[in-house]
Amino acid sequence: MHNRFFLYASLAISCWSYSCSQGVTQSKTTENTTAATSTQTATEVSKVWVADQGDGTYNNPIIHADYSDPDVCRVGDDYYMTSSSFNVAPGLQILHSKDMVNWNIIGYALDYNTPIEHFAKPQHGNGVWAPAIRHHNGEFYIYWGDPDYGIYMVKTKDPAGQWEEPVLVQAGKGLIDSCPLWDEDGNAYLVHAYAGSRAGIKSILVVNKMSPDGTKLLDDGVMVFDGHDEHPTVEGPKFYKHNGYYYIFAPAGGVSTGWQLVLRSKNVFGPYEEKIVMDQGNTSINGPHQGAWVNTPSGEDWFFHFQDVEAYGRIVHLQPMKWVNDWPVIGVDKDGDGKGEPVMSYKKPDVGKTYPVVTPQESDEFEGNGLGLQWQWHANPKATWAFATGSKGALRLFTDQLPEDYKNFWDVPNLLLQKFPAETFTATTKLKFSPNPKLQNERTGLIVMGEDYAHLSLVSKKDGIYLAFNTVDDAHKSTPESEQLLDKLNGNEAYLRVEIDKGALCQFSYSENGNDFKKVGNAFTAVPGRWIGAKVGIFATREDKINDAGYADYDWFRITPNTSSTFQSKK
């Protein structure tokens, strides 16, 4: 068992523990419910999306979840991925693969967002943008741009272990999407883009000289590319050197509609030639761009990129790549013009061996002393929000007071969430609620979170515990929730469920015995958050300030295939 701790505010307190176990945990006694067949292990194979077809081929996406702006590096026979994590904590999830198709989460590079107090409140769409992961002189480095504070770096010798504290490489507004390059002569460089919302300028790429230790920039930078005319919103650059050329791989044209641009030059500061090396072509994969070039030990070349699929976020695809006249061609070039289009299925990379099928973690039985690595908080957490106790086989969430400026759950930091793992799936959780008898309106439950959201919760009243279904449109505009107070529970235990169907249609339901589920209202259509896909998870809140809290014990949280295809459309 590997435990991760992160600090909150300036207090030197252990705040939370995340489990990295590679072993198999014992399953709970099977519950009498259709969702109870899942056994939590760190290498459990998803029941809702597997890219590896088992016959030497794979289907895209390789990860059907919101790992936005993915970057990948290879070290020996191992591949490591990270992605944008924006405002959530812990951030910069680290995924590992042996074959580029099968991935699982092994840790985090960022325990909490900095400045810590600033990110104690949800900072939607802010924080960690478009990271780059590299291995240099025996250490792993990750660089990213925070659009409000500047370019940061973290490093470690063990990507599954503890990473060092973030270093502010360059302070400044609007500095984003940074990527380093260490040259053969010992010099180091960094390429980055600008966020127009902060810098007042965008669609340009700048290269700076960087100290060899990677901790600071040494000059004001040289603009090496201006995309205003032909490649608007050029950003997300990745820096490489190959066959005597410096290459900058950069997306352009917008998140959902863009293309993959590559620049090359014999001089690090240019001038650079340009070429579009992949676009949507005649495929259904919109905006195939922004990601990572990697190769295999045998010399094959591959490219990772995202596809924006709205409520499901920016999911990860893998494309074959080849070099033609010192230009990369990504995907399949059907007409021979040097520009490829993405594939939906393909032969797996030749890595010399066949490895077991693994997928990013989803379900959690809460049997260890830490959460599964799929969980992230809505903001930097407090130590008092949650305690995973393996001896009790449950996750205890204590209710936390709603923020003083609370309008709806868009403002609430203590939401424990994970990414949508597939186009269709079911999330079910079993809980026992023990509210503080001195309080009313303590609440805990299951939520689908985005700019619109819905949650099914248990709420305490004078005469007992009730079920409530709450929805809100345009949460980011401070719209108040609409609540339907449902049945009164006979006791204090319940099973809460949400089924997600095509089009991100979400049907909530509940049960008191784990057998008979009663649907709640009409289906809710999930939508993205700020730069992210919708998420699903749990929470516990209260309205009052008091010296003690009620709590909810979550026995398990399970992701399974849909059990019903009956959905009522939202009115």
Residues 188 and 83 in one domain: yes
Confidence of residue 510 (pLDDT cuts 50, 70, 90): very high
Q: Do 383 and 339 lie in a common domain?
A: no
pLDDT given for residue 37 in this prediction:
31
Residue 12 CB contacts under 8 Å (≥ 6 apart), including other chains: none
Is 322 in the same domain as 385? Answer: no
User: What's the angle, vertex CA 175, arms to CA 174 and CA 178, rounded to 5?
Assistant: 150
Tokens 């230790």 belong to residue: 213
Domain end (from 347, 362, 394): 347
Domain final residue, candidates 347, 368, 401: 347
Residues 301, 420 within the same domain: no
Confidence of residue 2 (pLDDT cuts 50, 70, 90): very low
pLDDT digit string (tens) for 130-142? 999 999 999 999 9
Give the domain CATH number at 228.
2.115.10.20
Instruction: Judge if 333 and 389 occupy the same domain.
Output: no
- 78 lies in a domain? yes
Task: Tell me if 302 is assigned to some domain.
Answer: yes
Q: Which one of the listed residues 235, 400, 442, 555 is annotated catalytic?
A: 235
CA-closest candidate to residue 17, choices 385, 542, 418: 385
Contacting residues for 72 by C-beta, under 8 A, at least 6 apart:
79, 80, 81, 100, 133, 291, 292, 294, 304
Predicted local distance difference test score (pLDDT) of residue 45: 96
Looking at the fold, whether 339 and 457 belong to one and the same domain comes out as no
| pLDDT of 17 | 45
**86 forms bridges with which residues in the sheet?**
128
How far apart, in whole angstroms, are the C-alpha atoms of residue 301 and residue 320?
Answer: 7
Q: Are residues 326 and 434 in the same domain?
A: no
pLDDT over 90 (residue 213)? yes
Among residues 31, 44, 52, 69, the one annotated as catalytic is 69
* Mean pLDDT, rounded, for 503-527: 96
- The whole-number average pLDDT for the span 188-192 is 98
What pLDDT score does 167 carry? 98
Total domains, the chain: 2
- CATH code for the domain in which residue 412 is found: 2.60.120.200
Neighbours of 512 (CB within 10 A): 16
8 Å CB contact between 104 and 390:
no
Q: Who contacts 172 (Cβ-Cβ below 8 Å, separation ≥6)?
A: 150, 151
Tokens at residue 321, please?
């790549």
How much is the pLDDT for 35?
34
Quick: pLDDT tens for 279-314.
999 999 999 999 999 999 999 999 999 999 999 999
Q: How far is Cα of residue 569 from the mean position of the Cα atoms in its chain?
A: 28
Task: Based on the fold, state whether residues 448 and 329 are members of the same structural domain.
Answer: no
Q: Is residue 321 a part of any domain in this protein?
A: yes
Q: How many other CB atoms are there within 10 angstroms of residue 463's CB atom?
A: 7
Q: Is 55 a catalytic residue?
A: no
Confidence of residue 43 (pLDDT cuts 50, 70, 90): low
What would the mean pLDDT of 447-452 be, rounded to a whole number?
A: 98
404 and 342 together in one domain: no
Dump pLDDT digits (tens) for 253-263: 999 999 999 99
pLDDT tier for residue 370 given thresholds of 50, 70 and 90: confident
**Residue 20 confidence (pLDDT) above 60:** no
Residue 370 lies in a domain: no
Range scoring the smallest mean pLDDT among 10-19, 211-220, 342-351, 448-457: 10-19
Q: Is 31 a known active-site residue?
A: no
Do you find a cis peptide bond into 61, omega within 30 degrees of 0?
yes
Question: For residue 429, which of 440, 418, 442 has the smallest C-alpha distance?
Answer: 418
Residue at 14 is within a domain: no
Strand order in the sheet with 167-171: 129-136, 139-146, 150-156, 167-171
| pLDDT at residue 447, rounded to an integer | 98
Supply the pLDDT for residue 564: 64
Average pLDDT along the chain: 92
- CA 555/CA 270 separation, integer angstroms: 58
498 bridge partner residues: 427, 508
Cβ-based burial of 405 (10 A; exposed 0-12, middle 13-18, buried ≥19): exposed
323 has pLDDT over 80: yes
* pLDDT tops 60 at residue 524: yes
Burial class (CB in 10 A: 0-12, 13-18, 19+), 391: exposed
- In this prediction, residue 377 carries a pLDDT of 98
Q: What number of other Cβ atoms are within 10 A of residue 352's Cβ? A: 11
Mean pLDDT, to the nearest integer, of 317-326?
A: 98
As a whole number of angstroms, the distance between CA 516 and CA 527 comes to: 29
Token pair 């979550």: residue? 554
**Domain end (from 300, 332, 347):** 347
Other Cβ atoms within 10 Å of 187 Cβ, number: 14
Report whether 168 contacts 150 (CB < 8 A).
yes
Q: Is residue 475 part of a domain?
A: yes
**Mean pLDDT, residues 514-532:** 96
Question: Tens digit of pLDDT for each residue in 371-421?
Answer: 899 999 999 999 999 999 877 899 999 999 999 999 999 999 999 999 999
**Containing structural domain, residue 318:** 57-347
Higher pLDDT, 522 or 241: 241
Residues 383 and 329 in one domain: no
Quickly count: other Cβ atoms within 10 Å of residue 180's Cβ: 22
Could you tell me if residue 477 is left (phi over 0), alpha (psi between -120 and 50 degrees) or otherwise beta? alpha
- Phi/psi for 242 (5° steps) reads -155, 125
Distance from C-alpha of 525 to C-alpha of 376, rounded to nearest angstrom:
22
Overall average pLDDT of the 71-80 stretch: 98
